[in-house]
Structure 1
Amino acid sequence: MTTNQAVSVAVADRRPLPHLLVFPFPAQGHLLPLLHLSTHLATRFAFSITVIITPKNLPLIQPFLSSSSQIHPLVLPLPPSSSLPSGAEHIRTLPDGTPSAALIHALSSLRPSILRWAKSQSNPPSALISDFFLGWCVNLAADLQISHVSFFSVSALLAAILHPLFLSLPPPSSTPVSVSPSLPSFPFPHLPSVFRRYVAGNPDWDFTRESFLSNSLSSAAIFDTFDFFDSHYLSHLRSSSYASGRLFAVGPIPPAVPESDNSNIFPYLDSCPPNSVVYICFGSQFTTEPALAAAISAGLESSGVRFVWAVGTAAPEEFNGKGKVVKGWVPQRAVLEHVAVAAFVTHCGWNSVLEGLVAGVLLLAWPMEADQFVNAKLLVEDAGVAVRICEGGPGKVPEAAELGRLIGEAVEEGSWPALRLKAAEMARKAKEAVAEGGSSFLAMEEMVKLLKQATTED
C-alpha cells in the first residue's frame, strides 16, 4: 500500500492518523535535519506531525509545512526571560556573550502552554520527538503520559562523550581528557563547546546540564548517522543502555524538500572542468574575522585553483578570475555533488560532514568550535576520509603559503589516493544505507514500528 493509499484509508475510516509532537531546537544545523525527518514521517509513513515553534522561527519551517498537509505548526510565543533579550528566539539572534544555555532554559517555559494545548486535542500526540538540546522534554513527555524520543543531529561519538562529561564535569586540564577506556580522549580545548562553557551555579547552565543528562532516559534515540561510519560509538551507547539501548541510525537523512538557490553558483561551476574546484564553507554560524579572511584569500590566490567560497562577511569578489565568493545561503548539497567540485574545505559541522561524505569529495578538515573537533577525529583518524589542514581557535590564523599548497594539492590528479578511495567507498556506503534494504532504511522502519506501537498503546 502506498503512503497516499494509507492516508486515504485512514480518512475513509475516520480513523485519526498517528500523531507525533516534534520540538526542534532553533538553530539551522539542528532544526533542518529534524524537519526533514518529520516530513518523511508524514509523507512516507502517514503520521500527523505537530511542530512546536516560536513566532520568529515560523518562516524557517514554511517549506516543510507547504510540503505536506499532515504537518502543522504549534506556534507558541516565548515568555519573557531575564537571560534573553526580547525577540531572541534563534541561536543566531543571541547577543555576543549570551550562551545557548539561556535559550535552552527559556524554551522550557513553553511547557505549560504545551500541556494546555495537548489537553485540548481530540487526537493528542502519542509520542514526543525533541532535539537532544531539549532533553528536559523527557519530563514533559512524562507529564503528557507519552513516549519520548531524543533526536541527535550529531555523531554517536559526540553523544557518547557528552553524557559522561556532563556527569563527571572534569576540570580544565593540560592533558587529554578521557571519559571511558573505550572512547577517544581529547585535549580540553577540543571538547564540545557546549560542555566547556558550562558554569556551575548558573541557573541556565545547571538546567542545561540536567537537560543533556536526561536524554539517556528517553524511550529511544534517533541519530542522523549511519552504521558503517559510526558503528563503534553506536554500539558503545547501546551497551551502556543509553535511551534503553533503542538507538536508530537513520542517516544521512535525505532532503524532504528541495534546497533554495539564489546564489548563481551553477553557471560558474558548469564552466569549470571536472574535479577542478575547491569549495570552502565554515557554516552558517561562523563569522570570518578579517585576519582569517585575509589569510584564506592569500592562500587561495597563491594556490591558483578554481574555488567557490561561501562567506557571511565581506570578501573580495574574485581572484584572477579563478574563483567565486558567495554571500548568504548556498545550496551546499548540490554544490558538493557537482562534477566540477573536487574538494571541500569544511569546519566539520555535522550536516556538512554528512553532505561531504555522500558527495564523495576529498574533505579538508578545519574544525573551529562546537562538536567540530570531535567530528574531525571521526573523519581523519577513524574513517580516513579527510586530511586536517588547520585548526580554528581564538587568534589562530594559518600560514597563507602552506594553506595555498594544501588547497592546490587537493585538485592535483593522483594526490592523496588512499583518501580518495576511502571517500568514494564512504559515499557508496552512505547511499546504500538509505536505499531499500540498507541499514538506515531498516532502522527507519523499526523506528516507525516503535512510534506506531506507542499510538496503539495510548
Structure 2
Amino acid sequence: MATTGPTDHPTAPAAPHILVVPYPAQGHMIPLLDLAGLLASGGARVTVAVTPATAPLLVPLLAAHRDGTAVRALVLPFPSHPALPAGVECAKDAPPTLFAALIVALAGLRGPLASWVRERSGTPDRVVAVLADHSCGWAQPLAAELGVAGIVFSPSGVYGSAVLHSLFHRVPRREDEADDESLISFPDLPGTPAYPWRQLSLLYRTYKEGDEVSEAVRRNFLWNLEGSAFVSNTFRRLEERYLGAPLADLGLRRVHVVGPVAPGPDAAGGRGGETAVSAADLCAWLDRFPEDGSVVYISFGSMSILQPPHAAALAAALERTGVAFVWAAGTTAPLPDGFKERVAVEGGRGRVIRGWAPQVAALRHRAVGWFVTHCGWNSVLEACAAGVAMLAWPMTADQFVNARLLVDELGAAVPVSWGGLKAAPSSDEVTRVLHAAVGGNGGGHRGDVVARAKELAAEAAAAVREGGDSWRGVDELVRELRELACEPTAKMISDS
C-alpha cells in the first residue's frame, strides 16, 4: 500500500483521526470529500482510502490542506473480483448492470484497511472512527471488529436512503413479476409512500435471492443498519418530515444533518475533473441575457445515459419554444444531427457543452431560472442552494424519490415526465412544460414554484451559516469524534 503525506506526525491527543472510505463514483465521492474537508477544518485528521482510478478526485482536497497533516491519501490497489471485468475500478467505467459487482469487489479492501488501522493502534495516529459511504456497508463490521465508531455517509437524502435500505431489509416483491406498475409501499415511512416497481432502484430490482453477488449487495446495505450513526448531506427544512423521529428504515440510528456541503457561490465548478468550458467563459455567455431567470440549464448528471428518444423530445421542444438554454450534454448524450449547430446560430440562444460543465457557477448565475434535471441528489442540493426551480425528469436510482419530494412535498419542482428510462415523453409534452415554465414567464402556479425555490435557497444558506442546523451538525460530529480521541480506547458514538 502507498500513502501520500507523512505516516506519523506529532499531534495533540484530542485531534481525532478518521478513516474515510468513499464509493468510487463521482456523485458519491465529491460530497463525501467535501464533508471530509469540513471535518478537517473543524480540527479532525482525515485519511481517505482511494484506488489509483479515484485518487485524482482527492487532489483539490489535498491542495486545500497542503501541510499533509489534516488530510492524507491512502492509495490501495483495487481488489479484483471474478464478477467484475479487469480494468473496471469506478462507476464511470461500468455499465449499470455491473454496479452490484463493483460494490462487492470493493469489499476486498476490508483486509488491507484493517491491517493499516491496526498498525496505528496505541499510537497518537490511531483511528477513532470509520466514515464510509453507504455503498461500502462492509466498513461497518470492519469498524466493529477494530473497536472504533462506524459512521455511514448517505450520498442520498434521508428519505432516499431510507427507501433504499427498506428495500433490502424487507425485500418486497411484485405479485405479478411482469407488472412494472405494481406498487411497492413503505409502511414505516411518514405517509406510507408507494412507488411503481419500475421506479425503484435498479440495484434492488436486479436482486436475485440466492445469487452470490445479489446476496452480498443486500448484506452490504444491511450492515449499515448496524453502524453507530448516519451522516446525511441534507438540511432540516428540506427533509423535516423524515427527521422528526428516528426512522425504522435506517435502523433507528441517529442522523447527523450536515448539508448542503455543495460549494459556495465562488466555486468554479468542475470538481469532477477538468471542465469542457471554464466557469468564467460560461458566465460571460450568460451575461448576454438581460432578463433574470430567463435561461434553462439542462443536465442529467455524470452517470445518466440519456436515451435517443428522450434527447430527441427535449431537443425538439427547445427548438419549438425558442427558450434560451445551456445543455450540459456530457460526452454521450445522443443529440439530433445538426442540433448543436442550429441553436448556436439562431441568435446564439442555445449552448451545448460536451464534457464536464461548471454546474454550480451556471446555477448561481442570475440569468438561470430553471433546471431540467434527473434529480440526482447532488444536483438537487446545488439547485436548492442556488434558488433555481427544477423541471424534474427522474430516470433511475433514488431519482424518483427525490423528484416526488420536490414536486409533491416541497413545491419546488414541476414534473417533465415520470416515465424514466423506458418511456420517453413526446416532444409536445416537453414543449408544454417548457413553455408554461419559461415561455409563460413563470406566472401562476409556476410562479409559486419559483418562489418556493427562492425560499429553499434562504433555508439552505441559514442551515450552513454559523449556528444553523447543519453547521451545528458538523460541529457536534467533530466534538463527538474529539471525545473519542480523548478516550484511552475508542468507543462507539452514541446513537441516542
Q: In which range does the TM-score fall when normalised by the shorter chain?
A: over 0.9
Task: Please show how residues 124-139 of structure 1 align to structure 2 within 5 Å.
Answer: 124-139=126-141
Which residue does the alignment assign to 2:255? 247
1:342/1:96 Cα in 2 relative to 1: closer, same or farther (>3 Å)?
A: closer
The alignment partner of 1:218 has SS state of: coil
**DSSP-derived class of the 2:23 partner:** coil
Render the CA deviation track for 1:419-443: whole Å, top value 9, x for unaligned: 1221111111111111111111111
Whether 2:386 is the aligned partner of 1:359: answer: yes
> CA offset at residue 253 of structure 1?
1.1
Task: Tell me what 1:178 maps to.
Answer: 185
Contact 2:327–2:352 at 8 Å: present in 1 too? Answer: yes
Q: CA deviation at 1:330?
A: 1.0
The aligned residue for residue 76 of structure 1 is 76
CA RMSD of aligned residues (A): 2.0
Q: Is the 8 A contact 2:110 2:142 kept in 1?
A: yes
SS at match of 1:200: coil
1:160 to 159, 162, 172: 162
Q: Which amino acid aligns with 1:269?
A: L
Equivalent in 52, 63, 82 of residue 55 of structure 1 = 52
Change (3 A) 1:13 1:404: closer
Shifted more, 405-414 versus 273-282: the winner is 405-414
Decide whether aligned partners of structure 1 residues 440 and 16 sit closer, same or farther in structure 2, where only a CA change above 3 A counts.
Answer: closer
Which residue of structure 2 lines up, in the alignment, with residue 331 of structure 1?
358
Distance 1:419 1:13, change over 3 A: closer
Provide, for residues 218-267 of structure 1, a one-character-per-residue CA deviation record: whole Å limited to 9, x for no partner: 1111000111111211234x153945632111111142875334413222
Change (3 A) 1:205 1:239: closer
Q: Is the 8 A contact 1:190 1:373 kept in 2?
A: yes
Check conservation: 1:149, 1:221, Cα contact below 8 A. Answer: yes
Q: What does residue range 370-385 of structure 1 map to in structure 2 within 5 Å?
A: 370-385=397-412
Structure number with greater CO (CA < 8 Å, separation at least 6) is 2
2:286 to 269, 279, 302: 269
Q: Does 1:141 align with 2:143?
A: yes
Bigger shift: residues 119-128 or 165-174:
165-174
Q: Which residue of 1 aligns with 2:470?
A: 440
AA in 1 matched with 2:361:
A
C-alpha deviation, 1:325, in angstroms: 0.2
1:317 is paired with a residue whose SS is helix
Partner SS state of residue 111, structure 1: helix
Q: Could you list the per-position Cα deviations for residues 344-399 of structure 1 after superposition, in whole angstroms to 9, with x for gaps in the alignment?
A: 00100000111111111121000000100000110000111111011343442221
* Residue of structure 2 in register with 1:113 after alignment: 112
Count residues in correspondence: 445
* Deviations, residues 78-133 of structure 1 (Å, cap 9, x unaligned): 232101111211011114632x1211111111111112212222412110000011
Instruction: State the identity as a percent.
Output: 39
Letter in 2 for 1:330: A
Paired amino acid for 1:383: L
CA separation in 1, counterparts of 2:373 and 2:411? 15
Shift of 1:165: 1.6
Aligned to 1:310: 328
The answer to whether the Cα contact below 8 Å between 2:14 and 2:483 also exists between their aligned partners in 1 is no
Structure 1 distance, partners of 2:169, 2:369, is 42
Match of 2:218 among 204, 209, 233: 209
Distance in 2 of aligned mates of 1:219 and 1:388: 37
* Partner SS state of residue 177, structure 1: strand
Cα distance in 2, alignment partners of residues 188 and 244 from structure 1: 26
Cα distance between partner residues in 2 of 1:96 and 1:246: 31
TM-score (norm 2): 0.85
Paired residues of 1:220 and 1:243 also in contact (CA < 8 A): no
Structure 2 CA distance, aligned partners of 1:86 and 1:146? Answer: 33
Deviates more, 1:317-326 or 1:48-57: 317-326
CA distance in 1, matches of 2:155, 2:379: 11
The code of the aligned residue for 1:132 comes to H
Q: Secondary structure at the match of 2:352?
A: strand
Pair 308,221 (structure 1): closer, same or farther in 2 beyond 3 Å: same
1:250 maps to amino acid = V
Matched residue type, 2:26: Q
The residue type equivalent to 2:415 in the other structure is R
Aligned partner letter, 1:145: G
Matched, 1:294 2:293: no
**Unaligned segments of structure 2, at least 5 residues:** 1-8, 176-180, 490-496
Partners of 2:398 and 2:248 in 1: CA distance: 22
Letter in 1 for 2:236: D
Distance 2:97 2:478 in 1: 40
Task: Tell me the secondary structure at the aligned position of residue 150 of structure 2.
Answer: strand
Which stretch has the larger CA shift, 420-429 or 335-344? 420-429
Write the distance in 2 (CA, Å) between the matches of 1:194 and 1:297: 30
Q: Would you say 1:405 and 2:405 are equivalent positions? A: no
| Deviation for aligned residue 1:13 | 7.2
Per-residue Cα deviation, 1:195-226 (whole angstroms, up to 9, x for no partner): 21212222121011011111111111100011
Distance in 2 (alpha carbons) for counterparts of 1:289 and 1:116? 45
2:258–2:474 Cα contact (<8 Å) kept: yes
1:259 maps onto 2:269 in alignment: yes
